[in-house]
Structure 1
């Protein structure tokens, strides 16, 4: 793998649910040291690392730090934790999983229980309200150590599986990683580039509009994962959206944005000129930070680059190493060739 796998693993294994991205934010600020000319954090928690260019034109690059997770809403008399969601979950993927409960003082490992098949009702449906986290502690001790409002994230390691990397929170830490790697490669750009690590994307693209107003760029490019349905359960190739190993995905649309034609066409031209593997993305549903920049504080030209990902919003999200490399290469090349003179007008 032609990238820093240890950093990607650290980013993905570090917990940071929406609104509480502190640990990931610390990693981002660390990686910006010696790379960005300036770094600041806004009141929402967005981190912006700026590399100054020689001209007046400004570009924003965005990738979100938050991962889907939970918040404790009730501690039962028996010592089990009931939770509320922070982001979109399919309840079926939560059965029999390990979790980490984050209190102000400590992290506790827990498990989401599952009724054994021996006594299951085949007609019974499983819902988030059915989730009960078992900390393996007496009820009195749970009440002392855990409070309503404490946070819960999934517990999973990030590993190589063949040509793929799999783990939790690749949405969107793999794109956060790609953004940081591109920032490290960018040398003396013609334009000023603001690398924005955003918050609360999983709750409806909340951080990006705020940072877009503050930065007010001339052009914005967002990075996020996208659906790769190239799996046996999906029969029609037209429903794949993207395929693993076919390169970085240049977004044309999702349910929140139609990217600016001249921006995505230049991305494609750069990819072709540099021999970077790429594919075009038409995503039927799903929103990204791209929309947070397009019409906030005035209209902006926008583009987006996506990393094809299987099994989204699970603890086994999977990406192909070549697609990660292609995303870093394409973003770097796009920024290196941005002079501020390209016409993105309609």
Structure 2
């Protein structure tokens, strides 16, 4: 039975957590880990730094991000009602968000991302790719004044979707990839290891890795670090395990940590009817993640990244596989035990 709590993952994925507005996610995590840690603090930007002391002098950092992509309200449009203009927070593909449900502002007002009606569009408009400037959020306001009473420019909006089980192993929701990483860290904090571990749940990854850059100071000393992240499911099939990227835009992984992580796959206890669970180094270039900020902190930290495959990344319907989540937990746990 997996040590990663799927009910926790459900609550994490349903919590609102657009970059800069991660409070709901933070509250779920704090409630889950508070009794498992020796020290917990929340810094000024909103990162959670949770420490569990071990028996020896070794101190290992493990990191995952809490935030998700979303939108920020930038203005109002009128015409048959009043609608909200918006800009993206993080990387979002316009074609994937048409007709999606969202919640807006501190009041969590429901809305729908909308596009000019097809029967009112010209042939050229129907055939061109959708751009963000073509989209707006409809909250059912009759006029601009009604919209202004409910929503302010600068308010945040995020996807509203439900946690869904897909087949025997699949689970889907917004942000479920990154929240799976957070659930793994929460499970690691409940176990006991000879080494000390510091689990950092970071904010604002989507807008420049800001949380990771500020998550600990130069006085904090770590022997090694592992950042847990996600990778787009392309040739990396869901249910096939975890991957260690060696080509990251602005940094390099530590080879010894990567090889040691890879060796942990040999004794995993995971139900898998179809595939061999992998933990392998891949030579695919990926965008910067928290690892970019971690390995240059202080005097420098030896760091590697472990990735869980995710399908439909940065949409309202991300999909991950329970076996990959369990593999990530077991690989890191065995690494800490070693």
Normalization by structure 1: what TM-score?
A: 0.88
CA offsets per residue over residues 13-35 of structure 1, 9 Å max, x none?
10111111111111111111210
Q: Does 1:250 align with 2:244?
A: yes
TM-score, structure 2 normalization: 0.90
**Structure 2 segments unaligned to the other structure (5+ residues):** 271-276
1:168-317 equivalent positions in 2, closer than 5 A: 168-184=174-190, 186-187=191-192, 189-213=193-217, 215-229=220-234, 240=235, 242-274=236-268, 277-280=277-280, 281-317=282-318
Q: Which region of structure 1 is more displaced relative to structure 2, 7-16 or 109-118?
A: 109-118
Q: Secondary structure at the match of 1:171?
A: helix
CA distance in 2, matches of 1:88, 1:291: 18
**Is structure 2 residue 84 aligned with structure 1 residue 81?**
yes
Superposition pairs for residues 34-73 of structure 1, below 5 Å?
34-73=35-74
Shift of residue 58, structure 1, vs aligned partner: 1.4
1:101 aligns with 2:107: no
Offset at residue 273 of structure 1 (A) = 4.4
2:221 and 2:133 map into 1 onto residues whose CA distance is: 41
Displacement of 1:180 in angstroms is: 0.8
Give the direction of change, closer, same or farther, for the CA distance of 1:95–1:149 in structure 2 (3 Å limit): same
Name the CA distance, whole Å, in 2 between partners of 1:117 and 1:33: 51
CA–CA distance in structure 1, aligned partners of residues 221 and 16 of structure 2: 30
2:96 and 2:147 map into 1 onto residues whose CA distance is 25
Indicate the SS of the match to 2:74: strand
Q: 1:169 to 1:180 in 2, by over 3 A?
A: same
Checking the alignment, whether the CA contact within 8 Å between 2:77 and 2:85 is kept in structure 1 is: yes
User: CA separation in 1, counterparts of 2:265 and 2:183?
Assistant: 20
Q: Could you tell me how far 1:309 is from its partner in structure 2? A: 0.7
What is the distance in 1 between the residues matched to 2:76 and 2:40? 40
Q: How many residues align?
A: 322
How far 1:190 moved relative to its partner? Answer: 2.0
Q: Secondary structure at the match of 1:60?
A: strand
Question: Deviations 1:195-242 (Å, cap 9, x if unpaired)?
Answer: 10001111121111211436442211101111111xxxxxxxxxx2x2
Runs of 4 or more above 6 Å deviation? none
1:332 aligns with 2:333: yes
CA distance in 2 between partners of 1:125 and 1:248 (Å): 34
TM-superposed deviation, 1:331: 1.4
For 1:117 and 1:283, the matched residues in 2 are separated by 40
RMSD: 1.8
User: Are the aligned partners of 2:83 and 2:141 in contact in 1 as well (CA < 8 Å)?
Assistant: no
Q: CA deviation at 1:275?
A: 6.1
- Do the aligned residues in 1 keep the contact of 2:170 with 2:322 (CA within 8 Å)? yes
Measure the CA separation in 2 of the matches of 1:177 and 1:245.
Answer: 17
2:316 and 2:84 map into 1 onto residues whose CA distance is: 20
Question: For residues 104 and 111 of structure 2, what CA distance do their matches in structure 1 show?
Answer: 7
2:230 is paired with a residue of what secondary structure?
A: strand
Unpaired runs of 5+ residues, structure 1, are 230-239, 338-346
- Alpha-carbon separation, structure 2, partners of 1:81 and 1:300: 44
Q: CA deviation at 1:36?
A: 0.7
